[in-house]
Amino acid sequence: MITSDLNGKAVLVTGASSGIGLMAVQTFARCGARVALNHLADDARGPGQVARLAAQGLDVIAAPGDVSDVHGAGAMVSTAIAQLGRLDVLINNAGTSNTVEPVPFEDLDAMTEAFWQKILSTNLIGAFRCARAAAPALIASQGAIVSTASVAGLGRRGSSIAYGASKAGLINLTQSLAKALAPRVRVNAVAPGLVNTPWTRPWSAERKQRSIDQSLLARMVEPEDVAQTMLFLACQRAITGQTVAVDCGMGQV
């Protein structure tokens, strides 16, 4: 397990009321960081998780807001930074598949304008909004950005054409931001494969097994696997502009 002394450091994790984001909050907080847990304003899980983690002695605060909102994303980041007092790491984790079930690639009619707009505004433009708002604080602290992409952005089949395109765009955005914010801010991404999260938990055992059978490690990715990679990228000072696949060797069988 990767550990680091992050006492005195401040972290903002977007989309953190469950799954990968929540595990990232716990991971950074347990290393001593003060962490802002972003959640949608109407998502009761967010305040509940903040209370739970605070009861464990972790320094976690709530940062309600929607990264897909043109004006709200920047306001959320600014408010979180003001409450934290500084910002050393931005975890751009907020994202959506905008569907309960994967949409067959052949079903082009399902890719409506509204479907595309929701996914791109959250997964791609939302990440940019947060990075732009956080940039001055991160430059001051010589900090880092780590975004949650997906193997779907690396050419693997994802939940929809729009989802894969948004994550491919996020990988490109990671490379561009690394150039734009160098040399003071490092910008990287993780690209998870099939992760054991609330979204995939209801899937049938047969459906999950098909993906597991295509992975070298013969298991699903756990949120902790992704969060530990985020921690490594946030602390490793010689890596920038990279996307690390965390997929148990998916597609290499």
Question: Residue 243 has what pLDDT?
Answer: 98
Give yes or no for residue 1 having a pLDDT over 70.
no
pLDDT, average across residues 194-209: 83
pLDDT tens sequence across 45-87: 999 999 999 999 999 999 999 999 999 999 999 999 999 999 9
pLDDT tens sequence across 13-28: 999 999 999 999 999 9
Which residues contact residue 52 at a Cβ distance below 8 angstroms, ignoring those fewer than 6 apart?
Answer: none
Give yes or no for residue 253 having a pLDDT over 60.
no
Residue tagged 């505004």 (tokens): 121
Between 251 and 120, the higher pLDDT residue: 120
* Sequence ranges of the domains in the chain: 10-246
Give yes or no for residue 199 having a pLDDT over 80.
no
pLDDT tens sequence across 113-159: 999 999 999 999 999 999 999 999 999 999 999 999 999 999 888 88
- What is the 3-state secondary structure of 35-101? EEEEECCCCCHHHHHHHHHHHCCCCEEEEECCCCCCCHHHHHHHHHHHHHCCCCEEEECCCCCCCCC
Give yes or no for residue 4 having a pLDDT over 90.
no
- Catalytic residues, by residue number, are 163
Average predicted confidence (pLDDT) for the chain: 95
Question: Residue 205 has what pLDDT?
Answer: 85
Question: Residue 242 has what pLDDT?
Answer: 98
Question: Residue 252 has what pLDDT?
Answer: 72
Q: Are the beta carbons of 156 and 192 closer than 8 angstroms?
A: no
Residues paired with 12 in a beta bridge: 36, 90
pLDDT tens sequence across 240-250: 999 999 999 98
Give yes or no for residue 207 having a pLDDT over 90.
no
Question: Residue 184 has what pLDDT?
Answer: 98
pLDDT-based confidence at 2, cuts 50/70/90? Answer: low
pTM equals: 0.95
Query: Residue 189 is which amino acid?
Result: A
Superfamily of domain 10-246: NAD(P)-binding Rossmann-like Domain (3.40.50.720)
Question: Residue 92 has what pLDDT?
Answer: 98
Q: What DSSP character marks residue 124?
A: I
